[in-house]
Amino acid sequence: MSRAKLHIKKDDTVVVLSGKDRGRQGVVLEVYPKKQRAIVEGVHILKRHLRPSQMGEGGVVEREGTIHISNLKKVE
C-alpha cells in the first residue's frame, strides 16, 4: 500500500461528507496516515462499557471513533 499525501492534518476544521454524521463539522484531533483514518471532535461518538478498576470507576464512556479520510473535506 503506497502512502499517499493526506489533505487533512491535525487541528484542521473539516466537514463530514457521508455516513450518519453527514454535514457535521469538527476539529481533527488525530490522524492515522497508514490506516487513512482520522478522529474528529464531536463526530462518530461511540459508547464504551468499562469495568470498575483501581484506576477509576466503571460505566459507559462516550468517545470519538475514527472516520476514513475520504469521508472528510477540509473547510477553509
Query: In which residue are the cell numbers 492534518 written?
Result: 9
Looking at residue 1, its pLDDT comes to: 55
Cell of residue 42, nine digits: 464531536
Q: Which is more confident, 3 or 72?
A: 72
Sheet of 72-74: strands edge to edge? 66-68, 37-40, 25-32, 13-16, 72-74
Q: What is the pLDDT of residues 10-44, one digit of tens each?
A: 999 999 999 999 999 999 999 999 999 999 999 99
Q: How large a percentage of the chain has pLDDT more than 90?
A: 89
How do the domains of the chain map onto residue ranges?
13-74
Fold of 13-74: SH3 type barrels. (2.30.30)
Asked whether residue 52 carries a pLDDT value surpassing 70, the answer given is: yes
Q: How many CA atoms lie within 13 A of 35 on its CB side?
A: 9
pTM of the model: 0.84
